[in-house]
Structure 1
Amino acid sequence: MKITQAVHSFPPEIGGVERHTYELSGYLSKMGEDVVVHTTVESKKQEKFAVKSHWGLRFPFFSSVIWVPFLGLKLAMEDTDVYVSHGYGSLMPFCTALASIITGKPFVFTVHGYPQLSGLGRIAQWIYRNTVARVVLWRAKKIIVVSREAKYFLQGQTNKNKLVYIPNGVDTNEFQCPPFTEGEYITYVGRLDKDKRVGMLINAMGKMGKKEKLLVAGNDEGERPGLVELAENLGVDAEFTRVEPEEMPRVYCYSKAIVLPSRYEGFSLVWLEAMASGRPMFSTPVGQAPELFREVYGENAEKFLFPDEEGLINRLNYFIENEEEFAEIVERAQEVVKEKYSWKAMAEKTLKVYESVVRRK
């Protein structure tokens, strides 16, 4: 099958959408499918699938809003069986839907999360929902959602029979680390934007008064200078770095624990990668986190979920003072993730969705 994917960002950029598209494309190619990815990022040449990069006009404040002139026509020129695009809030799905309309080829839309925005962002989201999203959701034959929360929010905007839940996966062979007790850092992995609330983690570590070191690994979207200043003012021993995707396993191995204080998530790959690495994963109870954490941590899930800064302080303090207590819990979580969340299994489920819309066209 010939599969054309369009996504606003792609490795070497770091993020959940980027990683998902990269891993999915790789596994689909291994399964014998012909995959091409259109994106706005200059990416390294891939051995198993093609990547075509385009110039795009970037809008301020919204990293996923990038307009690529004539992309719809460029996609329509592809010899493909199915079009796929990623990211609610991105303009790439709109261009992909146009290509689908022009060619009559089926279109599958993948939603990685449903943003819970405020202020100007909320206004922009309302405009998107009532313009771009209407076209995209109407044209899509199937809509893959990586979290049940996103599925819930979309049910009022489209035919619920279009919605298919397929969670993210993880390459469990890639994340092989020594015991977390040998790690040096409390680590944040992800973009540096306001909705990730890295400042909450820095504030928490400053108030804890412990000598733990903080590692912040991810792409800056305008927040880094303020976060660096905050860490310096609070006396937090913090290291800020941008790492390539292939270096991510090393980041987890250096870490004692991973913290994700996001305002919203769909199904964060950081959760799975941390768990697969045998690292305690602390997160706000957003998106798929409550369900996933109950699945992997069982009755201990609340030890890893925190609602606010005070909750984070309490959980990190307890963890640091009782590390040995967490060893068996973390080991069980690692086994569950390796058993149930492989990228191979998720790619197989995704391919079945693509095949179903191609047969129906």
Structure 2
Amino acid sequence: MTHIVQIAPYIGRGSGVAGVAWNLQTELAAMGHTVESFTVATAQRRPTRGWPKHPLMRAFALFRRMVWFTTVGTVRARRFLAERPDAVAICHNNVMTGDIYVNHGVVGAAMRARGNGLWRMIRNPTHIFTYVRDSIRYRSGLHRAVVALSRSEADTLRRVYGRVRSRIVVIPNGVDLDAYRPPTPEARRRARADFHLDDDQRVVLFIGHEFSRKGLDQTIEALVFAPSVLLLVVGGNAQAIDAARARADVLGVAERVLFVGTRTDLPLFFAAADIFVLASAYEANALVVLEALASGLPVVSTPVGYAPELIVDGDNGYLVARDAREIGARFEDLADADLAEWGVRARRSVEHLGWRPIAERYLALVDEIIAERAATGAEA
């Protein structure tokens, strides 16, 4: 039995870093290993408080927590690990310790991909702090190994930070193949009825909170070139939704865009949709792409993160430029296709990416690190 400690600000069901850590932890524990968590709550020795509602206050609170967990959290994490000398630590964010660090994104690449990268960096102290912190992390060899979520992300790490002293291992994110699966005809009927969608309507699904980075503007404009589809938008705050709705109105497609705001019952939306879109400027490895494919939806995506390794044009989706005309053309291609066949191929393309085989790859890396430690101890 192996002893593993996972480090992340928060670990729990859902999307993002917290969800990745939770799924990994669940599988490792199910395999019989001892898995502990070190989170902000662990470091504070008390439950975390809720976030302020005002956007500026919330942003400040997030920045303060990130700095605190990077500094004080690192000191306390090292003490925590010192009391568990047999444990191998997998760090997912902020804290500057751990045998393995999982890179969930490169801030410099994300800013550059959106344009005016330098200006985006210097106007936001969170981005500056993250870049400096991670430059120290990668160039000093703090960790025995760094996990990149795709081959392209491994290349991005080297390009942005120069020489990465820790060895880089590529392990993609997994997907919950039980939670995300093609719907039964009855489940699809109920899901579409919830949104008053007819059976013959072709529905494109967009999920994301950062509308600008994830390409909602381009997706809405694509409807001009795809008159036979509707767009279902999940995510975003009230201000972002109002701006996107105004954009749709200017383009004359507002009647074909449905905004539902932030939701957590994502399988319902996958069941209601026919096509998934992600016209993102940057992703390390978008979980929603895996979830869409697992749900039997063909994916129209820009070539970001893991998408180029997963999507085969004309088989389970299309890779496109961040161009509304091209995106719209692919929507129309799929609207005319037999989507049942596409759905079978989409599901098949991710069946090797369930969380159990992904956890096994992490465990193999953990075993290598245990062997390295033993060899180092023997030499000493």
Indicate whether the TM-score tops 0.5. Answer: yes
Q: CA deviation at 1:144?
A: 0.6
Matched, 1:250 2:262: no
CA distance in 2, matches of 1:181, 1:206: 27
Q: Which residue of 1 aligns with 2:88?
A: 82
Is contact 2:207–2:234 with CA below 8 Å preserved after alignment? yes
Q: Which residue of 1 aligns with 2:319?
A: 305
- Structure whose alpha-carbon radius of gyration is higher: 2
- Please tell me the residue identity of whatever aligns with 1:164: V
The alignment covers a number of residue pairs equal to 328
- Please tell me the residue identity of whatever aligns with 1:134: S
Q: Which residue of 1 aligns with 2:234?
A: 217
Q: Spell out the pairing of 1:1-361 with structure 2 (5 A cutoff).
A: 1-8=2-9, 10-11=11-12, 15-39=15-39, 54=48, 59=59, 66-68=66-68, 70-78=72-80, 79-80=83-84, 81-87=87-93, 92=94, 96-97=95-96, 100=97, 106-114=98-106, 115-117=109-111, 118-123=117-122, 127=128, 131-137=132-138, 138-155=141-158, 157-159=162-164, 162-176=167-181, 177-178=183-184, 184=197, 185-206=203-224, 208-210=226-228, 212-218=229-235, 220=237, 223-233=240-250, 234=252, 235=254, 236-244=256-264, 247-294=265-312, 300=315, 304-307=318-321, 308-320=323-335, 322-324=336-338, 326-338=339-351, 340-361=352-373
Q: CA deviation at 1:6?
A: 2.7
Q: CA deviation at 1:108?
A: 1.0
CA distance in 1, matches of 2:324, 2:61: 25
Per the normalisation by structure 2, the TM-score is: 0.74
CA distance in 1, matches of 2:168, 2:47: 29
CA distance in 2, matches of 1:312, 1:26: 37
Give percent identity, aligned residues only. Answer: 22
CA distance in 1, matches of 2:270, 2:365: 33
Task: Please give the secondary structure, in 1, of the residue aligned with 2:179.
Answer: coil
Q: Once structures 1 and 2 are overlaid, which stretch shifts more, 183-192 or 57-66?
A: 57-66
Off by >6 Å, runs of 4+ in structure 1: 61-65, 179-182
Structure 2: tracts of 5 or more residues without a match: 52-56, 112-116, 198-202, 374-380
Distance 1:205 1:221, change over 3 A: same
Task: Please give the secondary structure, in 2, of the residue aligned with 1:223.
Answer: helix
- Please tell me the residue identity of whatever aligns with 2:154: K
Per the normalisation by structure 1, the TM-score is: 0.78
Is contact 2:11–2:22 with CA below 8 Å preserved after alignment? yes
Q: Which residue of 2 aligns with 1:103?
A: none
CA distance in 2, matches of 1:152, 1:133: 16
Is contact 2:237–2:261 with CA below 8 Å preserved after alignment? no
Is contact 2:225–2:329 with CA below 8 Å preserved after alignment? no
Is contact 2:206–2:278 with CA below 8 Å preserved after alignment? yes
Q: Which residue of 2 aligns with 1:45?
A: none
Is contact 2:146–2:166 with CA below 8 Å preserved after alignment? no
Deviation digits for residues 191-249 of structure 1 (CA, Å, limit 9, x no counterpart): 23421121211222255344x432222354963332233234442331222222xx222
Q: CA deviation at 1:146?
A: 0.7
CA distance in 1, matches of 2:263, 2:214: 18
Is contact 2:302–2:320 with CA below 8 Å preserved after alignment? yes
Task: Please give the secondary structure, in 2, of the residue aligned with 1:67.
Answer: helix
CA distance in 2, matches of 1:312, 1:256: 15
Question: Superposition RMSD on alpha carbons, in Å?
Answer: 3.4
Is contact 1:58–1:66 with CA below 8 Å preserved after alignment? no
